């Protein structure tokens, strides 16, 4: 019984998303315009990654609010990663809903291996949607929020990555 309890506790730790203080895993994905965005290229700037899906009802409620908050804060590096949707579906959703202050990141056509949206979600140990990860200028995770995030909470987390 003690072995089972230990294994269960260890597996819970492994299943958690990245944690505050962790170095955020690098990634390299594409924008709709075909520009490559990597976390390493964004060092020195605050970054917010939100993991979402087109079929996620909470995501559909949250994304317009995050878009509005990102616009109000003039946040340049707010990115959305969908590990379960095709690039075509994710981009169509953003166009239809006019979410211009959040940039969707997708796989490059024909991409396999370590630079796919699914591999980025695995690197960040994302289970479920939505999950937002706030990354400071040094590339460290400042905050992780799972589930619906009220706009007030977004602003609190944002302050933690915008301060010098």
Q: Is residue 88 part of a domain?
A: yes
Q: Is residue 8 part of a domain?
A: no
Digit-coded pLDDT (tens) for 16-34: 689 999 999 999 999 999 8
Q: Is residue 3 part of a domain?
A: no
Q: Is residue 4 part of a domain?
A: no
Q: Is residue 142 part of a domain?
A: yes
Q: Can you give the pLDDT at residue 113?
A: 55
Q: Is residue 2 part of a domain?
A: no
Domain with 30 in it: 17-162
Assign 8 a pLDDT band (cuts: 50, 70, 90).
very low
Phi/psi-derived region of residue 89, left when phi > 0, alpha when psi is between -120 and 50, beta in every other case: alpha
Which residues are within 8 A (CB) of 71 and not within 5 positions of it... i.e. 6 or more apart?
100, 101
Q: Can you give the pLDDT at residue 110?
A: 59
Q: Is residue 7 part of a domain?
A: no
Assign 107 a pLDDT band (cuts: 50, 70, 90).
confident
Assign 109 a pLDDT band (cuts: 50, 70, 90).
low
Q: What is the CATH number of the domain that holds 88?
A: 3.40.30.10
Q: What is the pTM of this model?
A: 0.86
For the chain, the domain total comes to 1
On the question of pLDDT at 39 being above 70, the answer is: yes
Q: Is residue 62 part of a domain?
A: yes
Nearest to residue 24, comparing CAs of 144, 145, 124, 131? 124
DSSP 95-139: HHHT-TTSEEEBPPTT--STTSHHHHHHHTT--SS-EEEEE-TTS
CA distance 92 to 153: 28
CA distance 23 to 135: 9
Cβ(23)–Cβ(132) below 8 Å: no
């Amino acid at each position: 019984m003690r072995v089972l309890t230990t294994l269960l506790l260890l597996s819970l730790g492994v299943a958690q998303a990245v944690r505050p203080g962790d170095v955020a895993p690098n990634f390299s994905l594409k924008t709709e315009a075909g520009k490559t965005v990597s976390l390493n290229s964004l060092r020195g700037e605050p970054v917010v990654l939100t993991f979402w899906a087109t079929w996620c009802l909470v995501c559909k409620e949250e994304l317009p609010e995050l878009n509005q908050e990102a616009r109000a804060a003039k946040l340049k590096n707010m990115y959305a990663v969908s590990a379960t949707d095709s690039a075509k579906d994710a981009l169509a959703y953003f166009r239809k809903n006019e979410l211009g202050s959040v940039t969707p990141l997708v796989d490059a056509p024909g991409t396999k291996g370590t630079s796919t949206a699914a591999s980025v979600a695995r690197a960040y140990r994302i289970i479920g949607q939505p999950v937002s990860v706030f990354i400071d200028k040094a590339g460290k995770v400042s905050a992780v929020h799972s589930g619906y995030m009220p706009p007030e909470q977004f602003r609190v987390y944002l302050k933690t990555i915008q301060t010098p």
